[in-house]
Amino acid sequence: MYIGAIIRLFAIAGLLTLLAACANEGQNIRDYYFPVKDLLGGKVYAYTAEMGDTTERRYWYYRTFARDSGLFFTGVQYDHFFQINQIVRERIDPSGAVARQVLLYEPDTATQRLLPTEAIIEADDLFPFRVRDSTGVFLYRLKYRPPSDTSAEIYLIRNRRYLGPGPVFEFEGKKYPTIRFGLREAVGHRAEGAAEIEGTGEEWYAKGLGLVYFRKAFGEQGKIQLAFRLRETFPMAELERRAAHLHAPEVDAEHK
């Protein structure tokens, strides 16, 4: 009888230890990030503005690459004129998504052609797969020198803080649970006497979709504001079709 009681006590102690270990690891939120394993063929996420010019769109082409060294995830951002703004290459680690390379595109002053500039990544946290509470801060920080003024240095500091569950997000006839992250950002220009503008914001990530909503406010009393929501997803061929339609030369009505 005593032996059986001792065995049960050991079993309970082991279970409590396991539960404590799981609690220390925090909540697993990996499913709320982009479905990287389903994006080997690539997909475009189209976001539309929620304020200001509501016809404005931002496009992100996301694609996963499986390599012997691991799983990698790339995002290419296009503006509403279908010009590349930036490319972000990530590595998917067990602990989360981390930035490996960031290319920022700016027009050349002589030719107006878009030229890529590689940023220096000083802190690489993009999305954690485990969180405990809202006290943890995940830091993303980079700097670069624009081709138009290589003596200048522009930097971005972004702190993400987990806020917990978010509102249900409806997309293409389905409802998705979400989680929220709070944002604090600072963008600075060291060539202008360390001029800096600060901002706050929020991101929503939907389970099985990834980033579905974000808003930011910058400057005094948040006068500069923006907000975007996911409206549709489609293959890269559709983005190319839309770009070709936008840039197609107009045909004179008399020559149709």
Asked if the structure places residue 254 within a domain, the reply is no
What is the CATH number for 235? 2.40.360.20
What is the reported pTM? 0.85
The answer as to whether 229 is a domain residue is yes
By DSSP bridging, strand 210-218 and strand 96-107 are unpaired
Give the pLDDT score at 181.
98
Q: Is residue 123 part of a domain?
A: yes
Q: Is residue 12 part of a domain?
A: no
Query: Which tens digits make up the pLDDT trace of 86-112?
Result: 999 999 999 999 999 999 999 887 777
Secondary structure string (H, E, C) spanning 16-69:
HHHHHHHHHHCEECHHHCCCHHHCCCCEEEEEEECCCCCCCEEEEEEEEEEECC
Task: Say how many domains are in the chain.
Answer: 1
Given a contact cutoff of 8 angstroms between Cβ atoms, the answer to whether 185 and 199 are in contact is yes
In a domain, 13, yes or no: no
Q: What is the DSSP letter of 2?
A: H
Is there a domain that residue 54 lies in? yes
**Range(s) of the domain holding residue 214:** 29-249
Of 30, 250, 1, 229, the closest CA to residue 129 belongs to: 30
Give the model's pLDDT for residue 108: 80
CA distance 103 to 116: 6
Report yes or no on 99 lying in a domain. yes
Residue 11 pLDDT: 52
Whole-number pLDDT of residue 48:
97
Residues of the chain with pLDDT under 70: 1-24, 192-194, 249-256
Euclidean distance between the first and final Cα of the chain, in Å? 97
